[in-house]
Amino acid sequence: MPHQTPLHAAHVEAGARMVDFAGWEMPVNYGSQIEEHHAVRTDAGMFDVSHMLALDLTGAGATDYLRKLLANDVAKVKTPGKALYSCMLNEKGGVIDDLIVYYFADDKYRIVVNAGTADKDVAWMRKQIAAQGANVTLEPRRDMAMIAVQGPNARARTWAAIPGSESASATLKPFNAVEIGPMMIARTGYTGEDGFEITLPAQDAAALWTDLMAAGVRPCGLGARDTLRLEAGMNLYGQDMDDNVSPLNAGLSWTVDMKDETRNFVGRDALEANPPTARLIGLILQDKGVLRAHQHVFTEHGEGETTSGTFSPTLQKSIAFARVPLDVAPGDAVEVDIRGKRLKAVAVKLPFARNGQALV
């Protein structure tokens, strides 16, 4: 039986089509996935992301622990509320998960991990605590819910729905968060649009969802979330990278920080011994068809494979991520095997769209 978020009843009441996603019963859409997608690009939409897991890390050894756990370096984050995106690697350099860590003090962090990897992540983190003998406490917060409000009008509509939130978050810069009592408002997201991700006590989630709807925010499901993130050039764990894929081959080299030669994070030795062999690039289909994951890609420099693909509502074209040879460059003509036919596509630089605009 799939888990249910604190907003499950609200989704059912709104007529959402529910599906099993990573062991959670989640809304895929509320009628029109395309309209939900456009609502986020042009106005404001909201997503129930309570299936993701927030973890609170506290203790005197928190910073040192995270510097060894993550490929990105939390030492460069010193402003309370500042967020850092990173991969957590295994010893072979594969991606256990991609996550966001929020810094509040040297002994206080919040980490948000993906739903499908949550149990695996917690087990790995606790294993590393034991291995390091770290003086930290890791607390999963399943008592919290998360709502992502995204779009050009997302912040204004959030302020209308949450009294007092504007004064606390109006000057919040992207990739920063602020705590308002038990609530955390982060200017982060997974759509390529401005907005907030709000973490709050589970018992308060349904009321906030209702207030956001009253403020003009449109409920959106997993379908729109996937097309939005793909247009925005954002990886999805389990498709664009996993335990067997190096971040160096997944378009995530920018999240790997090796500047401090003394910082021996898990997976560093493997990354140094195995330089990138492929790159992640965007594709736009030129012929009629739809790009999906796991389609064969043919280039002048060798073969590759699509990792994610969809029809882009913003571009009105079929788009994909593809892992291809390093020499493939934006502008190159390629072919993709779709149902036994080699169809023409062009390689482009990611992202495809952000901030309401097509970029390619």
Mean pLDDT of 266-286: 98
Domains of the chain are 1-275 (3.30.1360.120), 277-358 (2.40.30.110)
For residue 264, count other CB atoms closer than 10 A to its CB: 11
Strands 218-219 and 45-48 turn out to be parallel
Determine the average pLDDT of the residues in 140-163: 98
Find the mean pLDDT for residues 91-106: 98
CB neighbours of 53 closer than 8 A, spacing ≥ 6?
112, 113, 114, 115, 118, 121, 122, 140, 141, 142
Alpha-carbon distance of 225 to 222, in angstroms, equals 5
Residues 245-254 have pLDDT tens digits of 999 999 999 9
CA distance 135 to 36: 45
In a 13 Å sphere around the CA of 18, the CA atoms on its Cβ side amount to: 18
**What's the rounded mean pLDDT across residues 205-231?**
98
The C-alpha angle 196, 202, 208, rounded to 5 degrees, equals 50
Task: Report the share of the chain in percent with pLDDT over 70.
Answer: 100
Instruction: Write down the pLDDT at residue 257.
Output: 98
Q: How much is the pLDDT for 1?
A: 87
pLDDT digits (tens, 9 = 90+) for 41-60: 999 999 999 999 999 999 99
Range 79-105 average pLDDT: 98
What does the pLDDT read at residue 49? Answer: 98
| Residue 26: band (very low, low, confident or very high) from pLDDT cuts 50, 70, 90 | very high
As a whole number of angstroms, the distance between CA 359 and CA 41 comes to 13
pLDDT digits (tens, 9 = 90+) for 173-203: 999 999 999 999 999 999 999 999 999 999 9
- The mean predicted confidence, pLDDT, of the chain is 98
Closest CA to 70 of 103, 35, 45: 103
pLDDT band at 113 (very low <50, low <70, confident <90, very high): very high
Q: Which pLDDT score, from 0 to 100, does residue 179 have?
A: 97
Considering the entire predicted model, what is its pTM?
Answer: 0.97
212 CA to centre of own chain = 22
